[in-house]
Structure 1
């Protein structure tokens, strides 16, 4: 099974509009000399194949830096005022907005949908409002339905149109049983805001976020472009700039947007959290640093905020060849700013151009890197090896892929996903017995892996 954390190039490669990262002058402005990771951004961009990005970091009432590097997908120089998409990282704006609405008593997060939607389906009636925002409602996904394309292409589409489409579809799971990524909940929540408060999400975000923080370049395109349908605004689609995001972090730190500890308490409410996911935010604790935030666009954008230290970091790029740099870069910047210690570099930097390597080379480099574990961050090793394996597999280098997947199994024996990936490669190589064993182990470790379960059933029938 593919990971897309480090495989955004698979999702977004589009040929002519991708800028060759090797031809880019990465440094547009000087970087903060006191932050070593900031100085390494151009080097990291080359390793990841990212042609341009904007980044900002704030601590307390000080903007540590707000800068652009390289070029946009259309060849323009990135700067701190270059607009870039937040994609699903827009949910950070939603999280802050709903935290304010709840604080002011304008929305009851525990209120049942029956209290908000007059014709709510019977299966929905007792679902509390907060489940719409942490993906635990069970309401079916809309974006993968055949009719969703028609809604997107219609400028007059409203959130109520999504509600009408999904209301009669059975719930995907019992409310509260799982947290599975569903944009539909955000559409229903926006519909409720419109019906209850008489204003759109864009209006409320302006009231609570962009106006108090004086953010002049953060908005959803539909606000100024009538050809864009105004729905699912809180789930994704806002654009911003590095300068505007620095203003947002300052606005949180000084309480103009919301007090940091109020936002933290809102998100850490155990009723609202499902494992590491809360209302529009992933809760992460690394190296003793608690952060809230969200990534988006196949990791083309990433926002992390540490409420206890009042540190905020945002990375965004429109580069379609982005391989997920926004996630480790934000982590590294956060670590150095909070602790004062320079963190280890991402494991990917040890490999360089891994596409020019074979399976044996990958194993050798990995083992050498592991011997100096203080120099590299191995937290994403499973995802990276998986991505390399699938890169080889897509290039029809099946044996190299199998070697890499076997290394991943050896290093992460408790992950069902790595066995799933190995099984796929073995099946491609015609090794049905090996594939069966791998898929069976994948199911044993992850009983919810329906793809592996189907593969097991099919291979058993063929024996």
Structure 2
């Protein structure tokens, strides 16, 4: 009996020490992440951001800094809604792959199959659009953009806006990040599915995986817990420049929250929306015509942090910036949103990811 009591006590002591060390480790990581964020966000009375770290679907860190609305002096919380900007491209790419599984499109299809009057459309494939290797003109670089920025544009009107511009290079010749390509993909989603892009994403992704606080962007409808967007000028902060979200469309017009984006990442990991084989197409590296390897799949940059493979993407739209890094081998997801395009979370999130990876590899 004494032997049992003695060894039970020792086991309990060891367990308590291990739990204590884990708690200290977690607290240490929390404080390091806080320091990393606060080194960039020095004005907590201005716009700020929300940040999250998860592992195996469980949240390890989630905090908000700064104001959701400066005029009303409202603090940001981790469930505020932000514009995603180009993180929208992930959803557009997966929507295309969903339609491919349904037999409605093929990534090898020429875009002329869906948009017959597109110049050189028989030489540009959906694959080229997905990987930013199409060579078509990026509408965000066109001077005439200011003329349509606040107009309600149909997908066809958006495609017509840039389709007759001279191509920058032969399809597959090089990688050049391109918003127009993803607008064309959104138009093709509508043609192939018979639904609007907004409805397709809502029904087939948001509703299916419970992303209840995510939607196609709007400035007119009331959005509960919307984080207001800001820009910084010489004299201080100003409300973001107004843009009609039909312009960025499927290249950058979705909005979401940290927790909803975790649901998205979990759905991707568990192959809820597309099969593992199909998902592999999104997360593979491809090659240019000359054999040079791209570090971009379909809607994600395929990169590394300290030699560990990652899937990354950011976003930027008037008043907002976003960044997400996923580490498949550790099932770690690091995400950050800011509500001023004067605060870029890109390097910040990469630095936080490095901190987490260093902690994980030590344990």
Conservation of the 8 A alpha-carbon contact between 2:29 and 2:359: no
**Structure 2: distance between partners of 1:274 and 1:98:** 23
Conservation of the 8 A alpha-carbon contact between 1:213 and 1:250: no
Deviation at 1:112, TM superposition (A): 1.0
* SS of aligned partner of 1:120: coil
**Structure 1: distance between partners of 2:89 and 2:76:** 24
**Structure 2: distance between partners of 1:199 and 1:136:** 27
1:177-204 Cα shifts (integer Å, max 9, x gaps): 1221221111211112212211122222
Q: Provide the residue aligned with 2:208 in structure 1.
A: 212
- Aligned mate of 1:232, from 245, 248, 252: 248
- Aligned mate of 2:79, from 61, 78, 81: 81
Higher fraction of helix: 1
Deviation at 1:167, TM superposition (A): 2.4
Deviation at 1:265, TM superposition (A): 4.1
Per the alignment, do residues 278 and 224 of structure 1 end up closer, same or farther by CA in structure 2, a change over 3 Å counting? farther
Per the alignment, do residues 262 and 339 of structure 1 end up closer, same or farther by CA in structure 2, a change over 3 Å counting? farther
Q: Provide the residue aligned with 1:135 in structure 2.
A: 132
Deviation at 1:33, TM superposition (A): 6.4
* SS of aligned partner of 2:340: coil
Task: Report the aligned-residue RMSD.
Answer: 3.1
Q: Provide the residue aligned with 1:277 in structure 2.
A: 296
- Aligned mate of 2:172, from 158, 169, 176: 176
Conservation of the 8 A alpha-carbon contact between 2:52 and 2:258: yes
* SS of aligned partner of 1:131: helix
Aligned length: 309
**Structure 2: distance between partners of 1:127 and 1:107:** 14
**Structure 2: distance between partners of 1:329 and 1:335:** 10
Per the alignment, do residues 308 and 202 of structure 1 end up closer, same or farther by CA in structure 2, a change over 3 Å counting? farther
Per the alignment, do residues 218 and 54 of structure 1 end up closer, same or farther by CA in structure 2, a change over 3 Å counting? same
Map residues 304-383 of structure 1 onto 2, 5 A cutoff: 304-322=325-343, 324=344, 326-338=345-357, 340-341=359-360
- Aligned mate of 1:291, from 283, 290, 310: 310
Conservation of the 8 A alpha-carbon contact between 1:37 and 1:342: no
* SS of aligned partner of 2:74: coil
Q: Which moved more, 1:173-182 or 1:54-63?
A: 54-63
Deviation at 1:141, TM superposition (A): 1.9
Deviation at 1:327, TM superposition (A): 2.3
* SS of aligned partner of 2:209: coil
* SS of aligned partner of 2:141: coil
Q: Provide the residue aligned with 1:60 in structure 2.
A: 56
**Structure 1: distance between partners of 2:67 and 2:58:** 26
Deviation at 1:280, TM superposition (A): 1.7
Deviation at 1:338, TM superposition (A): 4.5
Q: Provide the residue aligned with 1:267 in structure 2.
A: 283
Deviation at 1:269, TM superposition (A): 5.1
Per the alignment, do residues 33 and 252 of structure 1 end up closer, same or farther by CA in structure 2, a change over 3 Å counting? farther
TM-score (normalised: structure 2)? 0.74
Deviation at 1:160, TM superposition (A): 1.0
Conservation of the 8 A alpha-carbon contact between 1:134 and 1:274: no
Per the alignment, do residues 320 and 132 of structure 1 end up closer, same or farther by CA in structure 2, a change over 3 Å counting? closer
Q: Provide the residue aligned with 2:230 in structure 1.
A: none
- Aligned mate of 2:34, from 24, 42, 48: 42
1:269-293 Cα shifts (integer Å, max 9, x gaps): 5259962122221111122321112
Q: Which moved more, 1:34-43 or 1:54-63?
A: 34-43
Q: Provide the residue aligned with 2:227 in structure 1.
A: none
Deviation at 1:315, TM superposition (A): 0.5
Higher RCO (CA-CA < 8 Å; seq separation 6+): 2
Per the alignment, do residues 108 and 335 of structure 1 end up closer, same or farther by CA in structure 2, a change over 3 Å counting? same
1:61-81 Cα shifts (integer Å, max 9, x gaps): 322233322323524211111
Deviation at 1:171, TM superposition (A): 0.9
Q: Any stretches of 5+ residues in structure 1 without a counterpart? A: 1-30, 344-463
* SS of aligned partner of 1:293: strand
